[in-house]
């Protein structure tokens, strides 16, 4: 028996349950519209460490420990950790796992990693390879800037389409049994390249991938956006969100319940974040606070969470390549 419906949507008959979740964010995120939803704020970006990379690693570690504590389990109960980050060789996750000592599968899907880790974790649990797994990702504004763009003190100007990398991490414990919310379906994204080359317009690069995955999921499940309380995209930002709406309407789909984590996390008017938030930590921290808490409170019952990633590399961009993008979708319900 294959556990799929339609062409490529996965179903999880065992319904892996989110038994614990935790979010930790930086100072700027904690001043944004979602400030009351996050579990912990680190204040100044170094988080007591002497480099941005170490600080980011500590973000993952803190979020993971928080989620484990909330699920009332201990480190030894966790069978596998699925996660990664934006940095080369996924160093934030690697170094966090050096001290956590949980079996580890590192993932890279740029900003789509949170959904990717949920899918991998759900497949693992549904295949009965373990009882509890961790799904987690992180990003840090300062470590991402120095790897992908310019030094922090460099005096440059950001165009209106640019997004602001979120400093934050989110982690959740998925278990074989529990009180939910449950992961019920998932659609694994394909790499979509719309030929966008502007490194300061990730929203435009990712919107077609989001549209592609959402259309595939709706077709496979024979549902419409109205069947869900909310559809949360990862970090398209305000510009990417508008583009996605346009692309969906070209395909005769209206999704008024569409929200975007990158659009939600900052107030672009007062926080000078231009098109909104981005980075793995964006959708991870919003999912593991604002979204899952609302599900626990039964304000949201059935949602789609679709993290989007621009698979951009400074090397290939310099070689003239366009920016490929991917979007993974999971359905979460109570």
Partner 1 sequence: MQHFSKKEYQKQVSKQEKSPWIKNLIWAYCVGGAICVLGQGILTYAKQMGLPKEDAGCVTSITLIFLSGLLTGLGVLDKIAKHAGAGTIVPITGFANAIVSPAMEFKNEGFILGVGAKMFVIAGPVIVYGICSSVIGGLIYYLITGGRL
**Strand-pair partners of 141:** none
By CB under 8 A, is residue 258 in contact with partner 1?
Answer: no
Among 5, 65, 215, 334, which residue sits at the site for partner 1 (rule: CB under 8 A)? Answer: 215
- Position of tokens 């080369």? 88
Among 201, 278, 285, 288, which residue sits at the site for partner 1 (rule: CB under 8 A)? Answer: 201
Nearer to partner 1, 125 or 214 (CB): 214
Q: Are 86 and 280 in contact (CB under 8 A)?
A: yes
Element (H, E) at 173: strand 168-175
By CB under 8 A, is residue 58 in contact with partner 1?
Answer: no
By CB under 8 A, is residue 316 in contact with partner 1?
Answer: no
By CB under 8 A, is residue 269 in contact with partner 1?
Answer: no
Q: Are 27 and 59 in contact (CB under 8 A)?
A: no
By CB under 8 A, is residue 48 in contact with partner 1?
Answer: no
Cβ at position 209, least distance to partner 1 in Å: 10
CA 22 to chain centre: 13
Q: Are 217 and 9 in contact (CB under 8 A)?
A: yes
Footprint (CB under 8 A) of partner 1, residues 275-294? none
Question: Pick from 53, 62, 72: which is nearest to 25 by CA?
Answer: 62
By CB under 8 A, is residue 243 in contact with partner 1?
Answer: yes
- Position of tokens 């880790």? 117
Pick the stretch among 180-188, 189-197, 227-235, 293-301 that binds partner 1 (CB under 8 A). 189-197
By CB under 8 A, is residue 204 in contact with partner 1?
Answer: yes
Half-sphere exposure (CA, 13 Å, Cβ side) for 55?
23
Binding site for partner 1 (CB under 8 A): 50-51, 146, 150-161, 194-196, 201, 204, 208, 211-212, 215-216, 239, 243, 246-247, 250-251
């Amino acid at each position: 028996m294959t556990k799929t419906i339609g062409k490529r949507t996965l179903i999880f008959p065992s319904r892996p349950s989110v038994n614990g979740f935790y979010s930790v964010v930086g100072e700027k995120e904690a001043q944004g519209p979602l400030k009351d939803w996050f579990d912990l704020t680190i204040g100044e970006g170094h988080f007591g460490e002497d480099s941005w990379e170490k600080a980011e690693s500590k973000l993952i570690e803190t979020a993971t420990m928080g989620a484990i504590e909330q699920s009332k389990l201990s480190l030894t109960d966790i069978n596998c950790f699925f996660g990664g980050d934006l940095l080369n060789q996924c160093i934030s996750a690697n170094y966090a796992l050096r001290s956590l000592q949980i079996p580890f599968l590192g993932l890279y899907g740029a900003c789509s990693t949170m959904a990717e880790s949920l899918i991998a974790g759900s497949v693992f649990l549904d295949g009965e390879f373990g009882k509890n797994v961790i799904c987690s990702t992180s990003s840090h504004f300062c470590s991402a800037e120095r790897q992908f763009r310019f030094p922090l003190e460099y005096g440059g100007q950001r165009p209106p389409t640019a997004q602001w990398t979120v400093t934050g991490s989110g982690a959740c414990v998925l278990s074989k049994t529990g009180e939910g919310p449950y992961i019920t379906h998932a659609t694994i994204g394909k790499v979509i390249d719309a030929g966008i080359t502007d490194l300061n317009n990730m929203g435009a690069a990712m919107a077609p991938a989001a549209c592609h995955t959402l259309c595939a999921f709706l077709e496979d499940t024979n549902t419409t956006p109205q069947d869900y309380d909310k559809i949360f995209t990862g970090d398209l930002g305000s510009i990417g969100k508008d583009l996605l709406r346009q692309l969906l309407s070209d395909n005769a789909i209206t999704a008024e319940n569409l929200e975007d984590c990158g659009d939600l996390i900052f107030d672009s008017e007062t926080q000078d974040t231009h098109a909104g938030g981005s980075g793995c930590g964006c959708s991870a921290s919003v999912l593991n606070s604002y979204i899952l808490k609302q599900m626990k409170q039964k304000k949201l019952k059935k949602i789609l969470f679709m993290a989007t990633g621009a698979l951009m590399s400074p090397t290939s961009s310099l070689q003239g390549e366009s920016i490929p993008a991917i979007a993974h979708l999971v359905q979460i319900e109570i």
